[in-house]
Each structure stands twice: as structure tokens, then as C-alpha cells.
């Protein structure tokens, strides 16, 4: 038996009908929200929205700077990746506390505190190649018990403001248009 909602004067409707309408409204709102962010409706994540597109990784400063300027050849992560190819380096909106001291653990002469305080944040700041992912890198930058993403050929670019994300993510088309031409060509290979 279907349970009815409302009083006889309100034109009673089955509760199941009301629930279906609410569910349909949620699906429409969810789809509109995903489309507004440049995502395919029904895809589970940004990374899956365009599987063959260039990926980005959000990294805290000063580590993004270290990859691009100080020879950091390993990105330490708690998770492994099978991705290989060009990787946009996105500097997170926040940075490590005491960045100079943290860099001094790996290099003899870290940049000045003033230089580190003025690093760009909330922006794509460069590109590098992910060439592998191992647990036993011999790099001075490798941390024990982490996955070591092997990074080669880092190249800085003029910062492009954008919001980052957790994990590997695909930058929206609007952001890709703002990148230098030579970076966009790497996405086509």
C-alpha cells in the first residue's frame, strides 16, 4: 500500500512520487554544477573527465619551487601513480611552515627567507615529466616509506592563477588556454 502525504484538501500525492521528484531535481542540479566547472556529467572526477589530457598536481611551496629551480627530482606521495608524461606543477594556496629549514635538510644553501616568502601560490607555475614511480629512489629528496614519483625536465612558466585539487587532476579548458603555446603542444603529443 502506498502511503500518502498531505491532507485530503492538499491533493494528496504518494510519498514515492515526491521522493522521485526530489531525486530528479538533485541530479539536474548536480549536472549543472559539474558543467559549470567544465566537467563531463556522469564522470567521477576531473582526472577522468578527459583521460588523455595533461594532468596537474598540486604541491605545497617550497616543494614546487624546489622541483622547478633546485633540482628536486622526486615528488614524495603516500600513493602510487601509473601516470607517465607531462605534469603541470600547481603551487598550493598554502605553504610549509619554516620552508628554509625544510629545504636545508636537502641542500646546502637554501634561498633566502624573503625569497621563499614571495613564492607564487594558487597557480600553475611549471611543467615537468613524470617518468616513473618507485619506492626505493636513491635521490636525496626521497623520503622513507613514500612513493617516489620520478621527475625529469622541469621547466618554470609564468604563473597562471587557478584552483588546485587533491590527487592528479585535469585543468579546465579555460586554464589550459592561458598556458604558453609550447606547453599546450605537449598536451597534444
pLDDT at site 40: 46
User: Is residue 62 domain-shared with residue 119, that is, in the same domain?
Assistant: yes
Is residue 24 a part of any domain in this protein?
A: yes
Is residue 102 a part of any domain in this protein?
A: yes
CB within 8 Å of 137: residues ≥ 6 apart: 74, 148, 150
Q: Which tens digits make up the pLDDT trace of 56-82?
A: 999 999 999 999 999 999 999 999 999
Is residue 19 a part of any domain in this protein?
A: yes
Is residue 41 a part of any domain in this protein?
A: no
User: Is residue 69 domain-shared with residue 133, that is, in the same domain?
Assistant: yes
User: Is residue 18 domain-shared with residue 79, that is, in the same domain?
Assistant: no
What's the structural domain count of the chain?
A: 2
Is residue 172 a part of any domain in this protein?
A: yes
Q: How far is CA 175 from CA 162, 170, 189, in A?
A: 7, 10, 19
Helix, strand and coil percent figures for the chain, each rounded to 5 = 30, 30, 40
C-alpha closest to that of 147 among 71, 78, 100, 95: 78
User: Is residue 57 domain-shared with residue 116, that is, in the same domain?
Assistant: yes
Q: Which cell goes with 189?
A: 603529443
User: Is residue 133 domain-shared with residue 115, that is, in the same domain?
Assistant: yes
User: Is residue 129 domain-shared with residue 170, that is, in the same domain?
Assistant: yes
Question: Which one-letter DSSP state was computed for residue 40?
Answer: P
| Cell 612558466, located at residue | 157
pLDDT at site 121: 92
**Cα distance between residue 26 and residue 129, in whole Å:** 40
The parent domain of residue 31 ranges over: 4-36
Q: Which tens digits make up the pLDDT trace of 130-155?
A: 999 999 999 999 999 999 999 999 99
pLDDT at site 64: 93
pLDDT at site 98: 84
**Cα distance between residue 47 and residue 55, in whole Å:** 7
**Cα distance between residue 154 and residue 159, in whole Å:** 14
CB within 8 Å of 61: residues ≥ 6 apart: 91, 92, 95, 96, 99, 116, 119, 120, 121
User: Is residue 105 domain-shared with residue 70, that is, in the same domain?
Assistant: yes
User: Is residue 163 domain-shared with residue 78, that is, in the same domain?
Assistant: yes
**Cα distance between residue 176 and residue 189, in whole Å:** 15
Residues of the chain where predicted confidence (pLDDT) is lower than 70: 1-52, 187-189
Amino acid at each position: 500500500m502506498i502511503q500518502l502525504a498531505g491532507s485530503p484538501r492538499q491533493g494528496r500525492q504518494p510519498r514515492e512520487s515526491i521522493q522521485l521528484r526530489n531525486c530528479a531535481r538533485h541530479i539536474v542540479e548536480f549536472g549543472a554544477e559539474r558543467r559549470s566547472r567544465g566537467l563531463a556529467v556522469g564522470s567521477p572526477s576531473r582526472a577522468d573527465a578527459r583521460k588523455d589530457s595533461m594532468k596537474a598536481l598540486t604541491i605545497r611551496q617550497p616543494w614546487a619551487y624546489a622541483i622547478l629551480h633546485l633540482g628536486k627530482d622526486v615528488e614524495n606521495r603516500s600513493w602510487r601513480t601509473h601516470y607517465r608524461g607531462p605534469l603541470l606543477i600547481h603551487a598550493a594556496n598554502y605553504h610549509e611552515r619554516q620552508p628554509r629549514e625544510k629545504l636545508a635538510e636537502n641542500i646546502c644553501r637554501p634561498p633566502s627567507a624573503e625569497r621563499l616568502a614571495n613564492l607564487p601560490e594558487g597557480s600553475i607555475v611549471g611543467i615537468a615529466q613524470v617518468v616513473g614511480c618507485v619506492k626505493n629512489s636513491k635521490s636525496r629528496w626521497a623520503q622513507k616509506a613514500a612513493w617516489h614519483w620520478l621527475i625529469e625536465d622541469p621547466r618554470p612558466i609564468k604563473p597562471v592563477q587557478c584552483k588546485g585539487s587533491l590527487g592528479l587532476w585535469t585543468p579546465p579548458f579555460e586554464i589550459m588556454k592561458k598556458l604558453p603555446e609550447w606547453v599546450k603542444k605537449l598536451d597534444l603529443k
